[in-house]
Chains A and B, each alone.
Chain A
């Protein structure tokens, strides 16, 4: 599996595990900020922007908040 596909899989997993919370998007965003290296965040955002990533909507929403703080 390519690195970006792996990142997408990890992000979707995080979304699945926060799906039991009302504030899932915030939790996904916070988790990625706290535990992912900036290069990983950047690669996933670029992968998403390429249109090839199969990401859950909550992940996409969370990615929009990264780097905006």
Chain B
């Protein structure tokens, strides 16, 4: 068994105080004021026995095992709750202390089975360790405690079990649920020996409010809360530190293995993005990596109605290269392109864009960030000079007011949500701008000061009105604007934003937000010492997504909320490597580091390094590729780790585009929806099977380390490299670190990044270069990346997608906690026990008008298409608005969404679709056709496997 890290017993004090020197068991030790005696002892290398204390939770002082003697003091104070003092003399060992501790431990074990040899936690149990250290093997109080030993185990959660007979009621699980996760799902019922841990209202874990983040399991000192794979297979024997492949928080985990199999993912207490916390997806939903659906052999076919044929890697590469070259011969060099993935590593996306530009000979490369955060890139580059968020996640700890706009972190970025909630419980104020009453609006010990339930499609009107109040009520930070922003554009913007068209009284009829409430919210925002904005896809996925991002930046600049801790403009990125895939030059108009392809000096750098000529014009973006495919000018596409057939809007259009291709190459771990239209299937590797880096939403580059060998034999970067070689453009990297070295040579913001430095520092937030050799947690500190901040004019242009008599409701889309994006990963785990189908949320008034009851099938029709979902009646959505998720392909959520897109970037307008809803009794035509098509494609796959 490997050694777990040293637990210091209590946390480092939040504020570093004066140094305090004391003596522990004769050893002098200096710690910061506010530290506990237990922590000081640990710093001196002295381990004080403990059960209820751990350094990720505030001291609680309940177990009475960590007692010490302090000269000049009476009694035996608990070392976890006693603060150090200068000159203090502490003794942690004495006969009296041993007797006291042994007595307490005997009381514990009198109500705890002493069958350590057969216990799953054998070797990883703090009670076992403490009892052994004190020589306690039995109890003078008997061994048949009635408090817990007969209690039944709760196996309701698919990932972990709760065995009350093993519980010592140390409250660590309760405190972790309260203080770290912020769900308050656990409590202690009863007193004394009768006290027991209960979930919810004495329910099973599965029926309670528990969100399966695993914090209780992490903090349990015994086997009471334990992962089921560990129960079944025993303690892990190896651990690899890596980075989660789900959302843009980018949590650091220890992948713990036994006999080469990953048993559990344990959040890394040293993880700089997650600080030891996790969510249900990263913590538990990793089983997809070894799911039976994994594709492990390359396959090819002439036609999508043919059976797949398994081939060698070499044949797959030569077949693809021949078909791509033949297409270019017939239709021209621009007739093929590639899509990089935000689920793949920086090194992999870098290689794909390099292959497209150097081997395909065009700039037809794009990434799935096109359909989520491309407006963030455009908007922040225009106003601040860099296409990235401005802060580290832990900056929120210094925020006095947080505005969350178009984001639902509780579901989509749960670990950040927990961090945010902790700050809110400490007293920070909260404004939520969202059409839907998301969990943050009102949850345990949290209530938003303002929930501004704006109508879908009115973001720009809203953000302009906020700025209007700031400017017209004299709430601007004039000194900041004077020192940090361009004067001319500011004066023009000031005149524009002061116009009556932007007043809350005028915008009220557009946004639906009462003017008085908006004014109050704007005043709150402008007068907070530190106001931070966090936003998500509810901002970017609109026809004016880029404009809203610029409006957000304008508001932050106007109030001086940039360039220090506790403030900033913070896009919450959807997928794990959205930031990285954009950084790596995945957009058709930009080389790595967001430098335009038309810049001859930048192009020249790459041309020299890559030994090729690059085209100076932008290539096609994903929607443009689809349009060109249907027109007959675009014929070949290489898609790495992306499922456009499910994730992109207007499914009918996407399917037609994919069917129009002569050669579609999909590299993925599963036969995803896009692969059903493919001619070549290249097996991908999951994050557990490769080395590389991910960059999260706070620009943090973190290592992805291989825990198991790739199931198909090759890591994704090796596949792209081999394909490039087959196309005649040589690539010869021996390890992803060499790719990163090349990125660092060519990209100023990555200049100082290397694997060696990442290993040393744990992670690095770019820019990392000579000026910032260890990275940049907060951007734009003394000046903006572009020099002076630019106030952009953000006129409101209503979307074409409006409610009409035919389509009277506005549909918006989002995510759920347990499922992730298109669900390809999470649907292949027990997470589906928490959410098994996409549903339609509809307000009871709208439902009643249509004769729809809870659970009824609803036909949802838009001008793009029709689908059928089950109804959930809820006032989380406002009348006139319906909501759904898109995690299941058969739901066809994107059959309804339209081809409307952001004016600047073509990011689809997922968040506004005019629909009509009616009660129906059978699936839509598309759903029937989808089932037939999917079944046929599965059969064709089965034939290849046979």
Contact = CB atoms under 8 A, between A and B. Distances in A.
Say if A and B assemble together.
Answer: yes
Interface in B618-676: 618-621, 624, 627-628, 630-631, 633
A67 B620 CA distance: 18
B899 A37 contact: no
A17 B795 contact: yes
A21 B791 CA distance: 13
Given A6-B627, A20-B496, A13 B795 contact: no
B589 interface: yes
Contacts of B496: 20
B7 interface: no
A16 B905 CA distance: 14
Given A6-B899, A16-B903, A17-B797, A37 B631 contact: no
Contacts of A7: 627
Contact of A13 (B363, B617, B633, B903): B903
A17 B620 contact: no
**Contact residues on B (Cβ < 8 Å of other chain), bracket:** 20 to 34
A6 B795 CA distance: 23
B285 to A, nearest CB: 37
A17 B369 CA distance: 22
A1 B904 contact: no
A55 interface: no
Interface in A13-64: 13-14, 16-17, 19-21, 31, 34-40
A3 B628 contact: yes
Contact of A39 (B598, B620, B899, B905): B620
Given A10-B903, A17-B547, A34 B618 contact: yes
Contact of B334 (A3, A10, A31, A39): A39
Nearest to A41: B617
B596 interface: yes
Contacts of B364: 37
A2 B903 CA distance: 18
Contact of A3 (B630, B901, B904): B630
Contacts of B624: 36-37, 40
A34 B903 contact: no
A3 B797 CA distance: 23
A55 B322 CA distance: 41
Contacts of B754: none
A17 B547 CA distance: 8
Given A34-B618, A40-B620, A16 B630 contact: no
Nearest to B631: A3
A21 B382 CA distance: 15
A17 B903 contact: yes
A54 to B, nearest CB: 13
A13 B588 CA distance: 20
B656 to A, nearest CB: 12
Given A20-B793, A39-B628, A39-B633, A31 B620 contact: no
B906 A37 contact: no
A13 B620 CA distance: 18
Contacts of B547: 17
A5 to B, nearest CB: 10
Contacts of B588: 37
Interface in B308-363: 334, 363
B543 interface: yes
A14 B793 CA distance: 14
A36 B618 contact: yes
27 contacts: A3-B627, A3-B630, A3-B631, A6-B899, A10-B901, A10-B903, A14-B904, A17-B797, A17-B903, A17-B904, A20-B793, A20-B795, A21-B793, A34-B589, A34-B598, A34-B618, A35-B621, A36-B624, A37-B363, A37-B364, A37-B618, A37-B620, A37-B624, A39-B334, A39-B620, A39-B633, A40-B624
Interface of B: 334, 363-364, 496, 543-544, 547, 588-589, 596, 598, 617-621, 624, 627-628, 630-631, 633, 793, 795, 797, 899, 901, 903-906
Interface of A: 1-3, 6-7, 10, 13-14, 16-17, 19-21, 31, 34-40
